[in-house]
Amino acid sequence: MAAPTPDSTLAPVVIPFIFSGHMPVIDCVIEDKKIKMGIDCAASSNLISAKLLAEIKGISDLRNTILRGGGAPVMVAEGSIGELFGGQYSLQGYEVYIC
């Protein structure tokens, strides 16, 4: 694959955030529902509260999986959000763990 040229690179995306403790938090919209989402830059997975599951209809491909992290493995649900907006940026098929 050829190296990107200046004409083929994407412009940087700037999304305002605040800190909650050490965690950067951004305002997001899922299906017209405004939420605050923590961004863990070192994590390999994205977490969403199970409380939102009943309110968000567009989570698809739900399945059970085991989440492994710093503690003992935990059984959680995993799925895909159809579209998530952070600032003016849109993510399609955003994978999340629901816990």
DSSP for 34-61, written as a single string: EEEEE--TT-SS-EE-GGGTTT-TTEEE
Cβ density class 74-92: b for 16+ within 10 Å, e for less: eebbbbebeebebeeeeee
Whole-number pLDDT of residue 9: 66
How far is 48 from 68, CA to CA, in rounded Å? 16
Whole-number pLDDT of residue 42: 75
- Domain borders along the chain are 18-98
Whole-number pLDDT of residue 8: 55
Whole-number pLDDT of residue 19: 93
In a 13 Å sphere around the CA of 95, the CA atoms on its Cβ side amount to 6
Q: How far is CA 44 from CA 6, 41, 61, 69, in A?
A: 29, 8, 19, 10
Whole-number pLDDT of residue 1: 46
Q: Hunting for tokens 């579209």 — which residue is that? A: 83
Can you read off the two tokens belonging to residue 31? Answer: 């299906």
Average pLDDT by consecutive 10-residue portion of the chain (99 residues)?
A: 55 84 87 84 77 80 84 87 81 82
Whole-number pLDDT of residue 18: 92
Topology of domain 18-98, CATH: Cathepsin D, subunit A; domain 1 (2.40.70)
